[in-house]
Structure 1
């Protein structure tokens, strides 16, 4: 399995997904090796939670990222990742190579050819989708081409929602029979905060007499935080003392801070218990995305026991049922956002019912053992498709590289 992020180095939801999936596969009895980027202080190789983790140090030359153009850095990273992967597979047998997004594409192709095994690719998001169909610069168009290439070369393409299946098949011309929907999972126990931590988060972020509304995610345009900030004054008028917390970091942070009222807190990048406690302490968690392939953070908030208000876009519209497990509002509409959040904050009984039903569904429908089982079915499908016609594959355990 190849990924550009993995704990302790986390940038967004992709790293958490790969970590949870790898662990669930290992617990199910599969041999899993993850090759990823090195993080300061981390071991170059270790066995963690049953997963063999190989971390590739970046090469010495600095490749600066300017204006969002990370192609030079990504190319150099793929060289380092490839060398680490080739060392990791020496003398071992693997049945599948699984690449996560375009940042691991070149290394994945090399490893697939070296091992002579099928390639499975998970497309977590697309460059076109992130820019609402507009590819403004040369590096955006190149990333789009790499994503298209990865999808064309993969024996099976995994996506996280029906929305993403449509995007991948439409934009990259991937045949429907090579595209599989495997939804992201959530560890329900992992997102249950301790009462003391919740109380501390309330003390840190909430006012004495008003509700707490929160968001967590990468601070980029497509996450729609600007619309939450635009809706915040109307919410404050309706609920005096209301506070808003924005957790996360990213290139759009400074612009967002200029839009924010004094009672909006930018908490920075939170992980682990700090993020869980913030979610659990909130009276409403908002996901205002313009583009969202899945929206795992909405399920994480639901697992924390918090009612959610989400933009009815992409995978969010699939995983949150309006009026049952959360509330919807049209993306890019601050007035509608304020109305949806008002419905939650203004009726505690309704908010509690939403939160209870959402948490029950997270536990039933999005548990990692089930997600791992579905992923193994995709691996088996890829192996059968790549096998000679007279070869029957029957292996209950799939070594994953």
Structure 2
């Protein structure tokens, strides 16, 4: 197939630098790994992402069969994703122009604003191009949990609903998202759950690990934003004597002092009396992450809500059990009491209780590690996810042909 991926704020090229930009989260890694796999399977993929620096080349080869094209939409400088909506019409016009003489077989939009640009471009073509939507996060969920702190543009929920009803197929990354989409009015028959995959060559048991220091080690790998619940991890640590917590993510280590959330978390650690047992590592390169995860006795990830959650899957692939909030994608990936345990969000007391129980039982932790690695291999290889994604494209193309 000739596939157009639209990822307006999250460039797959940012995946080279670890967790990516502050606004991108795991979406850049998702798009990078998915497109590389589709290229391996013989498809031709172009990823369209916004030009956010003046010196970026127009096109960059990401992997065999995969090209990243920088779209001139808005100023050639970083812009927070919640401020990009005014540039999506320009983005869509560019796509329509690019596809007029050489349309793709299918368009796959990542995030709701990408969907707006993709629909604008697809509708401008004759015949129209089939379009698939992955949201990565839903405005209804964000508003529910963040309330007045939600910085999404006005009308996001309304526009997400319209995108879901217009798309030929919608990919949900977890079963919880399916229920949200149906409640929004997206037709059930157009929704397919296709989770994120994991790089099994990079994330595996038995590879190099960061040096241990004799303390039980907890690792949290996360963007430093409030809803990720890193403060809950720190507060739980106060109830787990002798353990240490390594927090990776956010800006580079040298710039952590200028990050408001990092400063807030330092204050949380001070008030909890654990400043000597928490280490903030800053942003890590993707190649450094597996060794960090393998050094952990437990990987702890406690967000308020989570559209998918790549970190638990990467930890499982490394053979490390996970303590995760039982929300969103975690419910699908982390099998409670088999590959890890679920805890409620914003309950450091309950998280600490589960952590203490697992640290006291190395045999149980070892069994969970084996089960997690097996689950990652059998269910979440990128090869499998690539084939499932192509199946959705084929159904979207068939649905479009019937409609025509």
Shorter-chain TM-score range = 0.7 to 0.9
Task: Say if 2:78 is the partner of 1:51.
Answer: no
Task: Say if 2:311 is the partner of 1:297.
Answer: yes
Is contact 1:32-1:51 (8 Å) kept?
yes
Give me the whole-angstrom Cα distance separating, in 2, the residues matched to 1:155 and 1:375: 14
Give me the whole-angstrom Cα distance separating, in 2, the residues matched to 1:332 and 1:48: 39
The worse-fitting range, judged by mean Cα deviation, of 158-167 and 52-61 is 52-61
Specify whether residues 251 and 371 from structure 1 end up closer, same or farther in structure 2 by C-alpha distance, changes over 3 A only: farther
Task: Say if 2:333 is the partner of 1:319.
Answer: yes
Give me the whole-angstrom Cα distance separating, in 2, the residues matched to 1:57 and 1:385: 32
Is contact 2:205-2:373 (8 Å) kept?
no
Is contact 1:219-1:251 (8 Å) kept?
no
SS for the counterpart of 1:165 is: helix
Shift, 1:209, TM fit: 2.5
How many residue pairs align between the two structures? 373
Specify whether residues 336 and 120 from structure 1 end up closer, same or farther in structure 2 by C-alpha distance, changes over 3 A only: same
SS for the counterpart of 1:94 is: coil
Give me the whole-angstrom Cα distance separating, in 1, the residues matched to 2:137 and 2:206: 33
Give me the whole-angstrom Cα distance separating, in 2, the residues matched to 1:273 and 1:160: 25
Shift, 1:347, TM fit: 1.6
Specify whether residues 138 and 365 from structure 1 end up closer, same or farther in structure 2 by C-alpha distance, changes over 3 A only: closer
Is contact 1:156-1:178 (8 Å) kept?
yes
Give me the whole-angstrom Cα distance separating, in 2, the residues matched to 1:346 and 1:353: 14
Unaligned runs of 5+ in 2: 15-19, 251-258
Specify whether residues 358 and 193 from structure 1 end up closer, same or farther in structure 2 by C-alpha distance, changes over 3 A only: closer
Task: Say if 2:348 is the partner of 1:338.
Answer: no
Give me the whole-angstrom Cα distance separating, in 1, the residues matched to 2:131 and 2:170: 9
Give me the whole-angstrom Cα distance separating, in 2, the residues matched to 1:190 and 1:230: 31
TM-score of the two chains, using structure 2 as the length reference: 0.85
Q: How does 1:379-390 map to 2 (within 5 A)?
A: 379-388=393-402
Shift, 1:82, TM fit: 3.5
Task: Say if 2:262 is the partner of 1:253.
Answer: yes
1:105 to 99, 109, 115: 115
TM-score of the two chains, using structure 1 as the length reference: 0.85
Specify whether residues 86 and 46 from structure 1 end up closer, same or farther in structure 2 by C-alpha distance, changes over 3 A only: farther
Give me the whole-angstrom Cα distance separating, in 2, the residues matched to 1:95 and 1:19: 20
Unaligned runs of 5+ in 1: 392-401
Is contact 1:214-1:286 (8 Å) kept?
yes
Give me the whole-angstrom Cα distance separating, in 1, the residues matched to 2:141 and 2:51: 29
Q: Name 1:24's counterpart in structure 2.
A: 37
2:12 to 7, 11, 25: 7
Specify whether residues 13 and 164 from structure 1 end up closer, same or farther in structure 2 by C-alpha distance, changes over 3 A only: same
Give me the whole-angstrom Cα distance separating, in 1, the residues matched to 2:283 and 2:129: 38
Give me the whole-angstrom Cα distance separating, in 2, the residues matched to 1:25 and 1:220: 32
Give me the whole-angstrom Cα distance separating, in 1, the residues matched to 2:347 and 2:298: 18
SS for the counterpart of 2:6 is: coil
Give me the whole-angstrom Cα distance separating, in 1, the residues matched to 2:42 and 2:286: 26
Cα deviation digits, residues 171-221 of structure 1 (max 9, x gap): x1111111111111111112138855x2xx33xxx5x33111111112222
Is contact 1:8-1:42 (8 Å) kept?
no
2:219 to 214, 221, 236: 214
